[in-house]
Amino acid sequence: MMTKANDIQHPNHIADESRLMLTRRHFFGCTASGVGTAALASMLGSDVVGADDTSTSTGIPDPNGLLKQYHNPPKAKRVIYLFQSGAPSQQELFDHKPLLREHEGKELRDFVDMNQRVTGMTAGQSKFPLAGARWKFDKFGESGIEMCSELIPHIGSLADDMCLIRSMQTEAINHDPAITFFQTGHQLAGRPSIGSWMHYGLGSMNENLPTFIAMVSRGTGRPNCQPLYDRLWGSGFLPSTYAGVKLMSIGDPVLYLSNPAGLDATARRRMLDDLAKLNEEKLDEFGDPEIHTRIQQYELAYRMQTSVPELTDFSDEPQHVLDSYGPDVTKRGTYANNCLLARRLAERDVRFIQLFHMGWDQHFTMPKQLPGQCRDTDQPTAALVNDLKRLGLLEDTLVVWGGEFGRTSYCQGTLNEQTYGRDHHPRCFSLWMAGAGIKPGTTYGATDEFCYNINENPVHVHDLHATIMQQMGIDHEKLTFRFQGRYFRLTDVHGHVVNDILT
């Protein structure tokens, strides 16, 4: 087939045509970080988050974070969030209620006004019999904080390091929206997770590891429980560079970390250099921040080929340290293994480290399921906190331990001396924090004698988020992101810092 000379598409002509096909969205994407942003900052002044580039004694050295200065002096450099998925029972672990055992089997409605909603799982019950804890409680440490000495003796030994909040409350009554609420400040999926907000505001402290890392373990209490989704550590409407990276329990610790068969490090480096040039051309052309994310992620993955194997190699750990985490510490994917990884990540200045441990949803056979779940977590949790203390890291590491809501004081299903279970109760539950400016050896808030309502000092999920951000040097009302015509923040339009628990 013959081709006429004037039908031949010259490369320059193709490029010009490509530019003509730029959409309106592409145009505004190219200009969003240029004149428009400068003009906005000029109009709004230094109140714009990140508008002041002046370096001060409270300055943030990382150039990739939005903030150039902390909003307030930070107490924490990093967060380790030990999220207990499924909702641990506060009555069995942290909030001793002897009257539940004394009035075993009696109707809850005879003692309190049952004005809180219940789930569909117990709404049809004709009776709501009180169920008392079967395990012993004792006072721990000089502070005398009362916790279950049979199920969590190691966590109990941390009494003088922690602030135990017994007055947490939330809004969601089912697992997925409740976990989503704790991670993103909203019950519906689609918003950035708390770790992504930290990365967005503060940037990275380690160029060879992700800023935000998530790990998931499956408990022995109820292993086949509710699933966890990657969106729980996702970036939502923030650029995806701020999403958490999940460490895997099998195969490569990070997906696709190893070179493909037949590709050595030199060839991979050449390929990445060429790919970066192509991506940079597209970035100049379209201004899409996701292209910039792609460039960054390829480079981080290349650096992680060295840093991640070193991170996951425990051969340099003393035997007494390994023993302190318990027998499962060398088994990949266990909570104990993830706890030691969390400490090693903290040493390497990863900013936000989140462990999700599944299996706390004991609806029917609590006496059988709860002890196993506590065995998974009790010793490793204490070892992690003590390890951080030993290394001087607890002073600037904020540790948070808790689930998505509490459990009912009445029994779900059949109650007898051998077995019982508890349904979901968002109105009141327990959570504890330690390190980084948290008042040690204290309790905060209280529930009534039947653990149904909060009697004093309620702490909402938004309050918890505001307090975590405060310890990281962020004013939760000032760290915002404009999306679809509105400025969003982690705490939405709510939240108060719980100053009473801070030093």
> What is the distance between the alpha carbons of residues 161 and 141, in angstroms, rounded to a whole number?
9
Give the list of residues 6+ apart from residue 26 with CB closer than 8 angstroms, or none.
Answer: 285, 286, 287, 288
- Closest-CA residue to 360 (of 461, 230, 171, 219): 219
CB 60 within 8 A of CB 205: no
Q: CA-CA-CA-CA torsion for 133, 138, 142, 144, nearest 10 degrees?
A: 40
Which residue do the tokens 């009257």 mark? 99
pLDDT at residue 18 in the model:
47
- Residue whose structure tokens are 């991170």: 311
197 vs 155: CA distance, rounded Å: 29
Instruction: Give the per-residue pLDDT at 66.
Output: 92
Bridge partner list, 454: 447
Six token digits for residue 340 = 């030691």
What's 227-279 look like in SS3? Answer: CCCHHHHCCCCCCHHHCCEECCCCCCCCCCCCCCCCCCHHHHHHHHHHHHHHH
**Where do we find the tokens 């490793």?**
380
Q: Where are the alpha helices (DSSP H) in 391-496?
A: 461-471
What homologous superfamily is domain 78-248+320-501 in, according to CATH? Answer: Alkaline Phosphatase, subunit A (3.40.720.10)
Query: From first to last of its 503 residues, what are the pLDDT tens digits of the chain?
Result: 444 334 434 444 434 444 545 555 555 555 544 434 433 333 333 333 433 443 345 778 665 789 989 999 999 999 999 999 999 999 999 999 999 999 999 999 999 999 999 999 999 999 999 999 999 999 999 999 999 999 999 999 999 999 999 999 999 999 999 999 999 999 999 999 999 999 999 999 988 999 999 999 999 988 888 889 999 999 999 998 899 999 988 777 776 667 777 777 777 677 777 777 787 877 777 777 777 677 676 667 667 777 888 899 999 999 999 999 999 999 999 999 999 999 999 999 999 999 999 999 999 999 999 999 999 999 999 999 999 999 999 999 999 999 999 999 999 988 998 999 999 999 999 999 999 999 999 999 999 999 999 999 999 999 999 999 999 999 999 999 999 999 999 999 999 999 999 99
Contact 65, 201 (CB under 8 A): yes
d(CA 107, CA 104): 9
Taking alpha carbons only, the member of 440, 400, 496, 478 closest to residue 72 is 478
Taking the CA atoms of 190, 399, 342 and 323 in sequence, report the sign of the dihedral they define: negative
pLDDT given for residue 151 in this prediction:
98
Give yes or no for a contact between 343 and 355, defined as CB atoms under 8 angstroms apart.
no
CA neighbor of 427 nearest in space, from 446, 456, 452? 452
Nearest to 343 by CA among 288, 411, 391, 287: 391
Q: Which two tokens stand for residue 327?
A: 């027998």
DSSP state of 502: B
Q: What's the token pair of residue 292?
A: 């910039």
